[in-house]
Structure 1
Amino acid sequence: MVASADRIWDLAVIGGGTAGLLAAKTAAGLGARVVLIESARTGGDCLWTGCVPSKALQSAAASVAEARAAVRFGVDVGSIRVDFPRVMAHVRSAIETIAPDDSAEALEAVGVTVLPGRARFTGPGRLTVGGAGVRFRQALVATGSEPAVPAVPGLAEVSPLTTDTVWDLEELPERLVVIGAGSSGCELGQAFARLGSRVTLLETADRVLPAEDPDASAVIRDVLRADGVQVITSARIERVRPGVVAHTGGGVEFDRLLVLAGRRPRTVGLGLEAIGVEVDGAGWIRVDGHLRTTAPRVWAAGDVTGTPLFTHTAGVHGTIAAVNALLGPLRSVRTDGEPRVTFTRPEVAAVGVPTAGASTVQVRHDELDRAVAEAEVIGFSRLAIGRRGRIIGATVVGPRAGETIGELAVAVSQRLTTGDLAGVTHPYPTFSDGAWNAAVADYRSRLGVPPARRLTGLLLRLRRRWVSRQ
């Protein structure tokens, strides 16, 4: 659809990733005249280079690991052969299956006009797309982020892989070095190792998953090593030569090098200075609690704001920004219930305040019936407890931890207590029993403290007297 030159759009959305898609659809649903401008392809990093392809690859890798481990159930599988081109065909198939949901045609079907090209602000209420002028009443910047490649001598010369390019591989690297042991590094490092690469994981921090509970980090470190990954922490990269990464602890040889060392915002060339949108020293757009920028009638959502770089966060914030842009600042973003998941096997999921250093209660998964039945006993469910038993954070390590954390995100967001969670009947046996059993244990312990015991003791004595008189 072609935009009329004299039309003034209620909302101009720049960027067709998760934040932009949800914002545009929300605005169209409210009856607004919406234009979405995308320079490449709608769907964003999540669809094309992030969530979808990585989970497809990890599922293939998990099937290999499960086949090898089937002997523990008395099942002999025999020899296992990985056909890497077919694995990558599965990855592309997953993308192609989901892509229509995020396509320009799907947007047009709900009333959003899609313009291909690069947007650039030229002044208040005005921008250009491919030389053509576009006028708007409100604008939302949702251009996302891209892989950052550190300025290490020699790194650029070896054509390192990033999350943008790793999906183009057609041959499994024999020796793969992964720089960065955050979520993406651990996920992809484990997947390639299970598929047959000799993987070395380099991390500058003193542990993998440095943002997570140290006990969770230790579990994943041990699992990675069991999968054959060489894990090297406290390793500052000094220089890269063809086939060799030199770091503070020595050198590692590689056939391919995958860099997962952070991301940077896509703000260059947007003309933000022309309308007074401020960015911080790293280029992330400054927003207030309503996702409003420093420029009148301009909003921002998703990765480009530097908020937690998660697809689910981008989607929620895109919706909030669209509502606020069209109807006024009605909603604020919240940070107390931001769940996150590292999709290694086992998964690591967390929400709320860090469980390290907090007052906690936990259940180890070797005490969890479903985990024992499935021989998946590595992990734990840990709740951070605040005043009066309120659940203020959680960490879960185990199969399907990403599903379990949803319930705990509700508990944190809605200020529920362990008593509230314990009072909800849960199906048995499930991995979510871990969090429930932890809540039950905490609630029972609180009933046993002296004031509570005195109260329950009084109630029991009164009840005995009443019964004895019947």
Structure 2
Amino acid sequence: MDNRISADICIIGAGSAGLSVAAGAAQMGANVVLIEGHKMGGDCLNYGCIPSKALIASSKRAHAGIGNAVFGVEEVWPSVDYAAVKDHVRDVIDTIAPVDSQDRFEGLGCTVIRETARFISQTEVQAGDTIITARRFVVASGSSPLVPPIDGIDTVAVHTNETIFDLRERPDHLLVIGGGPIGMEMAQAHRRLGCKVTVIEGATALGKDDPEMTAVVLDALRAEGVDIHENTKAERISGMDGKITVHTAQGDFTGSHLLMAVGRAVNVDRLDLDKAGVEYDRSGLKVDASLRSVSNKRVYAAGDVAGGLQFTHVAGYHGGQLVRALMFGLPAKARTDHLPWVTYTDPELAQVGLNEAQARDKHGSKLTVVRSEFSHNDRANADRRTTGLIKVMVVGGKPVGASIAGHLAGELIAIWAMAIANGLKMTAISNTVLPYPTYNEVNKRAAGAYFTPKLFESGTVKAAVRLVQRWLP
């Protein structure tokens, strides 16, 4: 016989979005049911952000000794134990896992059900032999790596981000199909860990970012030996495990291992959303600005299935917005103009708000673009990390976007994300006193560049200064 329980909020998915809603709602006194059919922590903890950054950290250690001569230190070419690198990755996951664990969330007061969930009506979800009736539902089922139906793909072993971190034998030659953030991060990391790497991208590598910025990153990767082929579409795959060939109109590429990194598909197929009267498409649930289903007002979406940017921090942001709406009935609106993202290559690539092309299209002659080069930053010169630049798009004295390519770009973008989120003016950045020497002075120099024409190239200002100087004692 089926078990029946009721809840204020039923959450499907224990990734970043679902856990954010569950933690907030439960601690505020709501009756919460949290359903997860796979691993607690979702993609980010187990297959995405955490393992990839742990792997990148190992690759940076491996690369650190190369180029030492310029510092007066002997150059070191490391010996890499690939299996031990994966032990490091697993240890990092295990260290963080308790924060996302079933025990923790049960301790917060949630009822946690480890089964696959599906709707059976507009007010009910079934998970295993349990039927949950809830006043509100939050669908936070995330996404999975997309494996396109390329001819012959089923004849060879294909890795995705869900399997590559379990691989303990170092690939001799890694073929990466897809030149987006995941593909480029993994390409550089594996190159630094001693693999030969070829990236095959059907369009433009890192094509969602500013071309001037991506050129900085791609040049650096190519200089390290990553073989990148753009506008090269994979048409067919052949071979066997250990010798895989990707056939393209531009030529054939043969390697030992294949990583598919062409994007992600939202996890909606097994939810039976039709039975709940929830409209959706391949991008996710159809929701309004408050993340509420347009067709079933009991249902909300958060994270990847909300149909927007697919990032962990966006999922967490959605979770915060939904706690506000579900707990207090307060209006919530999920903005997108202030959401940053980072590609963790070396140098890093970061963006918030509009890039230059988008800003010119939207604001036209009202737009001012200011720039600052890393080569003008004293700390960057001391560290020999002078490759990079920042562009800030400004309208009416306020930043509407910022693009950064360079060392620590993911950290440097934070000040612009804060400025855009809170409607701050460029004076808020230029008036900030920063410790010297730091990389954040790149940001302040960009803000200063906005005021330079107004202060030093204005005839009116110069005339006013001359007049004042005559009268000063």
TM-score with structure 1 setting the length: 0.94
Cross-structure match for 2:354? 353
Q: Write the deviation string for residues 304-348 of structure 1: whole angstroms up to 9, x where unpaired.
A: 122101100000101212321333251100111010000001101
Distance, in Å, in 2 between the alignment partners of 1:185 and 1:10 is 41
Measure how far apart 1:121 and its partner are. 1.0
- The aligned runs of 1:149-160 (5 Å cut-off) are 149-160=147-158
Cross-structure match for 2:375? 366
Conserved in 1, the CA contact under 8 Å of 2:145 and 2:161?
A: yes
Q: Write the deviation string for residues 88-138 of structure 1: whole angstroms up to 9, x where unpaired.
A: 100000000000011011111222121110111111221111122111111
Letter in 1 for 2:110: V
- The aligned runs of 1:98-177 (5 Å cut-off) are 98-177=96-175
**Structure 1 residues 79 and 212: CA distance shift in structure 2, 3 A:** closer
- The aligned runs of 1:417-432 (5 Å cut-off) are 417-432=425-440
Measure how far apart 1:461 and its partner are. 3.7
* SS of aligned partner of 1:269: coil
Q: Write the deviation string for residues 273-308 of structure 1: whole angstroms up to 9, x where unpaired.
A: 01111112x251111100001212110100112210
Measure how far apart 1:156 and its partner are. 2.3
Cross-structure match for 2:258? 257
Conserved in 1, the CA contact under 8 Å of 2:39 and 2:46?
A: no
Cross-structure match for 2:91? 93
Distance, in Å, in 1 between the alignment partners of 2:31 and 2:168 is 43
Cross-structure match for 2:28? 30
Conserved in 1, the CA contact under 8 Å of 2:182 and 2:261?
A: yes
Cross-structure match for 1:340? 341
Measure how far apart 1:6 and its partner are. 5.5
* SS of aligned partner of 2:65: helix
Cross-structure match for 1:276? 277
Letter in 1 for 2:406: G
* SS of aligned partner of 1:335: coil
- The aligned runs of 1:372-387 (5 Å cut-off) are 372-387=381-396
Q: Does 1:11 align with 2:42?
A: no
Provide structure 1 residue ranges, at least 5 long, that are not aligned to the other structure: none
Q: Write the deviation string for residues 402-443 of structure 1: whole angstroms up to 9, x where unpaired.
A: 111111101122222222210111121111111110111211
Say which is worse superposed, 145-154 or 439-448, in terms of deviation.
Answer: 439-448
Say which is worse superposed, 356-365 or 29-38, in terms of deviation.
Answer: 356-365
Distance, in Å, in 2 between the alignment partners of 1:322 and 1:139 is 12
Cross-structure match for 2:365? none
Pairing partner for 2:193 from 190, 195, 208: 195
May I ask how many residue pairs the two structures share in their alignment?
A: 459
**Structure 1 residues 283 and 361: CA distance shift in structure 2, 3 A:** closer
Distance, in Å, in 2 between the alignment partners of 1:460 and 1:390 is 30
Q: Does 1:208 align with 2:205?
A: yes
Measure how far apart 1:18 and its partner are. 0.3
Measure how far apart 1:143 and its partner are. 0.2
Conserved in 2, the CA contact under 8 Å of 1:203 and 1:235?
A: yes
**Runs of 4+ residues over 6 Å off in structure 1:** none
Cross-structure match for 1:291? 291
Letter in 1 for 2:374: H
Q: Write the deviation string for residues 232-272 of structure 1: whole angstroms up to 9, x where unpaired.
A: 00001110001210012100001100000010011112121
Distance, in Å, in 1 between the alignment partners of 2:51 and 2:135 is 37
Letter in 2 for 1:225: R
Conserved in 2, the CA contact under 8 Å of 1:182 and 1:209?
A: yes
Pairing partner for 1:223 from 212, 220, 225: 220
Provide structure 2 residue ranges, at least 5 long, that are not aligned to the other structure: 361-367
* SS of aligned partner of 1:68: coil
Letter in 2 for 1:56: A
Q: Write the deviation string for residues 325-380 of structure 1: whole angstroms up to 9, x where unpaired.
A: 33325110011101000000110111011124743111111111111100011111
* SS of aligned partner of 1:240: strand
Cross-structure match for 2:364? none
Q: CA RMSD in A?
A: 1.8
Q: Does 1:437 align with 2:445?
A: yes
Distance, in Å, in 2 between the alignment partners of 1:464 and 1:111 is 73
Distance, in Å, in 2 between the alignment partners of 1:256 and 1:16 is 31
Distance, in Å, in 2 between the alignment partners of 1:166 and 1:78 is 27
**Structure 1 residues 415 and 78: CA distance shift in structure 2, 3 A:** closer
Conserved in 1, the CA contact under 8 Å of 2:5 and 2:130?
A: no
Conserved in 1, the CA contact under 8 Å of 2:456 and 2:462?
A: no
Measure how far apart 1:464 and its partner are. 5.5
Measure how far apart 1:396 and its partner are. 1.0
